[in-house]
Amino acid sequence: MNKDNRRIKIIFIGTAEFGLPAFKAMLNDSDFEVVLVITQPDKPVGRKQVVVSSPIKIAALKKDITCLQPVQIIDIRQKISLLKPDLIMVVAYAQLIPEDILNIPKYGCLNLHASLLPKYRGSSIIQAAILNGDEQTGVTVMKMDKGFDTGPILAQMAIKIDTENTAGELYDKLSEVSADFLVDTIKKYLAGEISPAPQDASLASYVKELTKGDGLIDWLKPAGELERFVRAMSPWPMAWTWWQGKKVKIISAQSQTIEINSYKPGKTFKYNSGLAIQTGQDALIIKRLQLEGKNDLASEEFLRGQKDFIGSLLG
């Protein structure tokens, strides 16, 4: 690995649960010494606004590793520098790392990114792969530069996107497979076995962060596109529509659409014992849905409780 055969001093920077398997793999590897963890500040979540620590902070404290939570990471530049880290590893931190910090470690800063760069840079990259009907996605380890996901690539690993994968399922799958892959890539990089390769910027696209409003369904779009939309919006913000002034979440839809084009887009109708909704092209069969303030139900059970839902025009 490294030429002097000592343990590599690493600062791990991350927040989301996505980075947990990678973080734990690094903690369990005798070649690495995680000397500091940096994560986002605790924040209130949910209706009751309970203050919650990040999954990375919780895991770090269990191992008695110092954890810092600056609002802006540049504020702790001196503390980072004093540790003299060999490497900084960033996974799902959600904050741009300034050059003044990128230049501190001997071997630079690496980032684990949940797409096959340069195709998707930015935030909602897992959702983007499903929305666009990609057959595969994957993870990229890159050496960070001052840009946003623009650094040169060390290694990539592709995985197949199953036709029924939600964004949540794909998130979990990528998170799990990334751990051993990341550790292996770091060791090869430190040993000089792989060199960073520049990204082709002409192939890059940026994906913005999702908001709750992004889950609103446009029934004018084709059924096949909307089926992917339902999967991409799960588990957050969920695909949803308006019915009688209330929100209805579409939890899951059948992957195979039906060639029915007899109604206005957004019109609900009975299909076999369940529910279908007309779209801009063909109809979407709904498997599960949830009325605002109620439990999510299979479409047959939902219709028994909401008999006037059939024949509605959703907005």
Task: Supply 69's token pair.
Answer: 């939570």
Task: Please tell me the predicted confidence (pLDDT) of residue 64.
Answer: 97
Domain co-membership, 132 together with 26 = yes
Pick from 146, 179, 207: which residue ends a domain?
Answer: 207
Positions of the chain with pLDDT lower than 50, given as ranges: none
Task: Please tell me the predicted confidence (pLDDT) of residue 49.
Answer: 87
pLDDT tens for residues 203-227? 999 999 999 999 999 999 999 999 9
Task: Please tell me the predicted confidence (pLDDT) of residue 222.
Answer: 98
Domain co-membership, 235 together with 277 = yes
Task: Please tell me the predicted confidence (pLDDT) of residue 1.
Answer: 55
pLDDT tens for residues 144-166? 999 999 999 999 999 999 999 99
Domain co-membership, 102 together with 169 = yes
- Residue 279 belongs to a domain with what CATH number? 3.10.25.10
Domain co-membership, 164 together with 21 = yes
Q: Quote the domain boundaries for residue 256.
A: 212-305
Q: 109 in a domain, yes or no?
A: yes
Pick from 154, 185, 207: which residue ends a domain?
Answer: 207
HEC string of 35-88?
EEEECCCCEEECCCCEEECCHHHHHHHHCCCCEECCCCHHHHHHHHHHCCCCEE
Domain co-membership, 151 together with 176 = yes
Question: Average model confidence (pLDDT) for the chain?
Answer: 96
pTM comes to 0.94
Pick from 172, 207, 242: which residue ends a domain?
Answer: 207
As to burial, measured by CB atoms within 10 angstroms (0-12 exposed, 13-18 middle, 19+ buried), residue 74 is: middle
- Residue 191 belongs to a domain with what CATH number? 3.40.50.170
Q: 311 in a domain, yes or no?
A: no
Domain co-membership, 182 together with 62 = yes
User: CA 205 to CA 84: how far, in whole Å?
Assistant: 35
Task: Please tell me the predicted confidence (pLDDT) of residue 4.
Answer: 62
CA distances from 309 to 216, 247, 269, 289, 300 (A): 18, 13, 9, 12, 11
User: CA 19 to CA 56: how far, in whole Å?
Assistant: 7
